[in-house]
Each structure stands twice: as C-alpha cells, then as structure tokens.
Amino acid sequence: MSRAFTPKIVTANDLTSGDVIYLTATDTWSPHHAQAELIEDEAHAQLRLLDGKRAKAAVGAYLADARRGDHGPEPVHFREAFRTRGPSNYHHGKQEAENV
C-alpha cells in the first residue's frame, strides 16, 4: 500500500547568489518559506516541480514536505528548517538581515 501524499513546496537555490528560494503560487521565487505555494495534490506537485526545474533563475529544484501554518507553509523536517535560516558558516544573507 502506498503512503498518503503529504503537502509539499518547491524549493531550489538561486542560480546567481546560491540562496535558498521557494516557488510561489504566482510563479515567482521568494527567499521566504512562508511565501511558498503549499501544494496538497500529488499531480499538481509534480507539475509545479517541472515548472521549478525549467526556471532559468533556479538550480536543483525539488519537492520538500511542508505543513500549513498560521503565516504560510512551515517546514516539517530539520533539513528544511535549517535551510530557511540561510548559510551557516557565518552571518550573511538571511542571518545578517535578522541581526540588523
């Protein structure tokens, strides 16, 4: 028996900066996980993944598990929660913006 489909988002890395980005419902990329399109249908998720893989501004697009939250999709797994915080080697990107 196959497992039930769990909600997903499409995530990738920005081709020029390397930052983590998320595909929104309006076909744009956002650096904010909460702005990602939460996809609750498996067939639609596969189509959106193809859209993400075809994007010229993104590299390495894949589907990541997510759940509905009060302010948009929230990560389910540690890896995805970690990716929302940006690079971990020193404060820059998202981490630097939070310290301002």
For the stretch 36-57, pLDDT in tens is 999 999 999 999 999 999 999 9
Determine the Cα–Cα distance for residues 66 and 10; give it in Å rounded to an integer: 10
Determine the Cα–Cα distance for residues 27 and 44; give it in Å rounded to an integer: 14
Question: What pLDDT does 98 receive?
Answer: 62
Instruction: Give residue 15's pLDDT band: very low, low, confident or very high (50, 70, 90).
Output: very high
Mean pLDDT of 72-82: 92
- pTM for the whole structure: 0.83
The mean pLDDT value of the chain amounts to: 89
CA 12 to chain CA centroid, Å, is 6
Question: What pLDDT does 73 receive?
Answer: 96
Query: Is 90 a residue whose pLDDT tops 70?
Result: no
